Structure 1
């Protein structure tokens, strides 16, 4: 789908509402416009970030932004929840069971309570009942690269991912022996990708307050354990990391990182280096490591009923953190 000299307009939603694919950067998109540059990073783990203040959706692959689009999030009284979510379900021709079978094309479900990414009318301001409405053309392109279990971040501030290179194994011994175990696990999972009926999605949540680690696989907790945190009085910060690369020559892992809260923010690299998992949980984490997995750090409690001060949730719909 090459870009024309003047972008074609695509009707979506109510009469008079248009969407246009344009050759502009995210910062200069007008309402209804989007860009799409997949060639900038042809492969690798995908993370979608929704900025509520900017009403813009950013798509990153291997830490490189390949697309951006204007959007419409929840209106007053139906605010879109902020948090780290996993795509629970995909349906190209979905219809709402709550709002009179209203069409929700290219739907990526984030919560079972009804929050999703889908095509819809974009009036230029928050107007939905909680979902993230997208231009039709953009929603179709996004639907083509999303996967169940993929990470979507809905943030109430402007957050830009950065690259973090970490020596050896994260959350433990940083020697080459530990890296070898992780590397073998990643290769094993890569080999099985596409050869099994359903790929496993993996996430790790580290709580600074509880000094705990929770391992999630396919939306359920499969292991818990303790961690030591160097300089424990200092916050580890609120970060989301996605494993994007493995450098066998230098025994390093590459992560795409973003801070999802300005509260008690620590540097991305420092937070990883201060966390060390106990041996029993570390072995389970090593076996679960794979490309595209996510690691979330937080200074809040790991109590299952906990929400942070700004109502930021993690994995809502597959279990509330």
Structure 2
């Protein structure tokens, strides 16, 4: 894998309803019962909190989590051979309810949520039951509209061959090895003008933090622009960090404590550390810690990777941590 490929930017399903077209179908037990065009939608399971989207390429399924709880699953269609959908961690860069393709004969792409400036996006499209797109992630029309309504610019999207169910990290009162949750909480409260329990999507700044074991460095990005960068010390440096995405949230109680929801993806679970152990091995320099503490808002994401940070594969306000490159 080349450096240029790196940086260019639940459990409750047992009682789910399937939606076929626009109507409800019978209850099902497993996502294996979903047929092309089907999806489940249960936002009431977790009414508020940050959204995370996981696209499983092998399963041709999209999983939606809010505050670490699975609220929806949908069938999808990713890129066909020669137009493979890149895998890795993305954030939603732009949203357009009535988008038309500039590459494919002005084709209608309803409910587009852009993931890269080079053309990869989530949007409504054909669903034959296998990968068929030119690199985008096709979704059922109704599902794409519902999803569009609960995401914001900056929402994390993980496209992967394998992923773990979310786990909570932060019971020790720390959001990083040397960043105490209570120290970050005041900054978080001041940065959340609608209160810590605000449920409505807002267009607040998108905060992303990337930590590379290869470079032993961290970068802090706000709306895609680097606002801080510095060295990190990593305990047991010869042990890989692994590929994790952490989404900052709060416990369910009013004014609840900050904690991370962590999702591992495309990693070897037999050789890596747990999400919690990985997080607390990381010790950023003081300037990075200060920048992080000032930006600890719900929905902030932190990504760990064993690939190098390489700025010549990152352009504009694009946040992409790729482990495969997009097809030419």
For the aligned residue pairs, the C-alpha RMSD in angstroms reads 2.8
Q: Deviations over 1:227-276 (max 9, x none)?
A: 11111111121111001115999x96321111112245321110011111
Distance 1:77 1:107, change over 3 A: same
Match of 2:161 in 1: 156
Q: For structure 1, which runs of at least 5 residues remain unmatched after alignment?
A: 11-18, 307-313
8 Å contact kept, 1:166–1:269? no
Residue 26 of structure 1 deviates from its aligned partner by 2.5
Q: Could you tell me whether the CA contact under 8 Å between 1:21 and 1:35 is conserved in 2?
A: no
Higher relative contact order (CA 8 A, sep 6+): 2
Structure 2 unaligned blocks of 5 or more: 1-14, 322-328
- Say whether 1:145 aligns with 2:147: no
State how far apart, in whole Å, the 1-side matches of 2:290 and 2:170 are. Answer: 21
Alignment partner of 1:268 is 2:280: no
Distance 2:281 2:298 in 1: 22
Mapped pair 1:278 → 2:280: no
Residue 318 of structure 1 aligns with which residue?
318
CA drift at 1:159:
3.3
Superposition pairs for residues 73-84 of structure 1, below 5 Å? Answer: 73-84=78-89
Between the aligned partners of 2:291 and 2:280, the Cα distance in structure 1 is 19
Distance in 2, matches of 1:222 and 1:166, equals 28
1:180, distance to aligned residue in structure 2 (A): 3.1
CA displacement, residues 166-225 of structure 1 (integer Å, 9 cap, x when unaligned):
423333436xxx43330001101112689xx95111011111122111001101111101
SS at match of 1:222: strand
Q: Which residue of 2 aligns with 1:220?
A: 225
Shift of residue 121, structure 1, vs aligned partner: 1.3
SS in 2 for 1:290: coil
Aligned partner of 1:184 among 183, 186, 204: 186
Deviations 1:2-61 (Å, cap 9, x if unpaired)?
x9x996635xxxxxxxx9766434332122110100000000000000000000000000
Could you tell me which residue of structure 2 aligns to residue 16 of structure 1? none
Partner of 2:21: 9
Counterpart mapping for 1:47-126 below 5 A: 47-126=52-131
Q: How many residues are aligned here?
A: 297
